[in-house]
Amino acid sequence: MCCVMGYAGHDMTREQFTAYLLRTASRGPDDHRVLETEFGYLGFGRLAIMGVTPEGMQPFERDGSLVVCNGELYGFRPVRAELEAEGYTFRSDSDCEIILPLYEKYGLDMFRHLDAEFAMVLYDARRKWLIAARDPIGIRPLFYGYSDSGAIAFASEAKNLVGLCKKIYPFPIGSYYCNGRFVRYCDIADTPAYNRDDMPTILKNIREKLIAGVEKRLDADTPVGFLLSGGLDSSLVCAIAAKKLGKPIRTFAIGMSGDAIDLKYARQTAEYLGADHTDVIIDKDTVLDSLEEVVAMLGTWDITTIRASVGMYLVCKYIHQHTDIRVLLTGEISDELFGYKYTDYAPSAAAFQAESQKRVRELYMYDVLRADRSISVNSLEARVPFGDLDFVKYVMSIDPARKLNTYGKGKYLLRKAFEGDWLPENILWREKAAFSDAVGHSMVDILKEYAEEKYTDREFAERAGRYTYCRPFTKESLLYRELFEKYYPGQAGMIVDFWMPNKAWPGCDVDDPSARVLKNYGDSGK
C-alpha cells in the first residue's frame, strides 16, 4: 500500500501538510515526498512493490501535470509497450508511471480503461484541473473533506484529515472528482441483463476468470505471501497461485490457542499444496491488548468488521515482523458475490441479487476496509483476486436463480467450478465459518465478556443514548463506538450502518452479526 494526499489551498505550511501525510507513514514506509504546486500541496508515501528503484518514486510529472496513485495497474506491461510505440518514454518500471500518458490519450475517460485497484490525485496543468478518482469496488481507500477555508483535501485514510476537515467523507467508489463535481464512471454492481450461458459455460468462466484474477496479482518485484484460513475462498486463491507459480508458496493462518476452528483446515490445505506454512497463535491477552489499536487503525465502529480485524491485524503484524513478504493475496469479496450463510434465507432470486448489489456497493466500508487497514498498517500490500473487475462483472451477470442455495450447499457454483485436483474434497465442500468465529469462538466471547464487565446496565443505557446516529445496541457495540469517537470524533457517518443480515428476511431478524446466531449455521463451526 501507499499513501496519497492532496490539498487545494495555500493556507497551511509545507510542514503542516507533511505532518498530516505522515499520520499514515506505515502505508508508505520507504520514502515520502511533498510538492508545493500552483494548486496547493501533493504528497506521497511509498511502499515500493513495482519498480522499486528510486525512479519509481511519486509524484510522477509530465509537462507540468502531476499524479500520485496508490494502486496496482494490472496488465500494465503491454499497455506500456503500446505507449512506447506511440512515442512515450518512461524512466522507471513502476506501473503507475503510465497514468499521465493514458490521461493524455483518454482524458477523463481513462478511468474506464483501467484494469486496476487504485486511488489517485491528478493535476492537469494545461487545463488547471484538480482530479481525484477511485476504483469501482473501493479496494484502495480514499477520503475527502473541506478545510475551514473551503479548500478540498483528499487522503488515503480518514486519520490524515482529522483536524483538517470538520466533516470527512469516503470518496465514492467508481467515481472521479473534477473541479467541484463528482462523476460516477462505473457501477460494477449494476446488471442491466443476465447472461444466458448454460451451466458448463458458467462454471468454465468462473474458473478461468478467477484463475486470471489470481495470476495477474502474482506480478510483483517483492516477495508475495498468502493469508490462508482453511475456508473455501482463501484456499482457492492459494491453490491457483501454487499451480501458476510451480513452487512452494508461503501461507499464514491465525487462531486462538484453545479453540481455533480453521487452523487444522489451513494446515490440510497447505500440506496438499506443498506450501511453506506458518500458524500464528493468539490468546485472550493478545486480543484485548490489540483492541484499541485495531479500532484506531480501522476508522469504524462496526461490530463484525472490528471482530474480524483483530485476527487479520495480528497475523499481518507477525508477517511484517518475521518475514520479508510485502504483498499478501486474500480471499475477500467472494461472499458478496456468491452468498453468505444468511443469503440462504433470500426469499427470491431478485432479493438475492438486490442484496448482492447492496453488499458489493458497500464493501469498501466493511470487508475491504478491514483488509486494507489490517494489511497496510503493517506496511504490506493487499491484493484481492475475487475483486478482479472482469470476474466481478461476470459473476454479477449470472442469473441469481442459479446462485440461490437450492443445492444444499452455499457457493455451489464456485465449488463446482473447481472440482478436480485443486483442493482436497473436504476443503472444497466445507461449510463456511465467518473469519471472526473461525479464529476461535472464544475470541468473540472474550470481546463480549470484556464489554459486559466494562459497563453496568445503567451506564450502557446512559452512554449509548448519547448517540443518535447508528446508536449502539449492545455493550460490545458501545465499547467500539467510544473507541472510534476517541480517534475520529464526530465522523461516525463515514459508515452507513451496522453490517448485519437482512432483518426483513425470515430467519434473519437477529441481534448479532455472527453467523453463529443463524439456525443454518450447522457444521460451520466444526
So which residues are the catalytic ones? Answer: 2
Torsion, Cα 98 101 102 104, to 10 degrees, reads 160
DSSP-based three-state secondary structure for 516: helix
- Dmax over CA atoms of the chain, in Å, equals 71
| Cis peptide bond N-terminal to 192, omega within 30 | no
CB distance 282 to 314 below 8 Å: yes
Q: Which of 252, 272, 274, 273 is nearest to 262 (CA)?
A: 252
State the cell numbers at 146. 473541506
In the numeric block, the cell 434473519 is attached to: 508
Q: What share of the chain is helix, strand, coil (3-state, %, to 5)?
A: 45, 15, 40
Does the CA dihedral 507-508-511-514 come out positive or negative? positive
Phi then psi for residue 289, to 5 deg, are -65, -25
Q: Which of 469, 489, 391 is nearest to 188 (CA)?
A: 391
Rg of the chain's alpha carbons, rounded to an integer? 22
CB distance 269 to 236 below 8 Å: no
CB distance 154 to 5 below 8 Å: yes
Q: What is the distance between the alpha carbons of residues 370 and 325, in angstroms, rounded to a whole number? A: 19
Q: Are strands 327-329 and 224-227 parallel, antiparallel or unpaired?
A: parallel
3-class SS string, 253-307: EEEECCCCCCHHHHHHHHHHHCCEEEEEEECHHHHHHHHHHHHHHHCCCCHHHHH
Q: What is the distance between the alpha carbons of residues 229 and 239, in angstroms, rounded to a whole number? A: 13
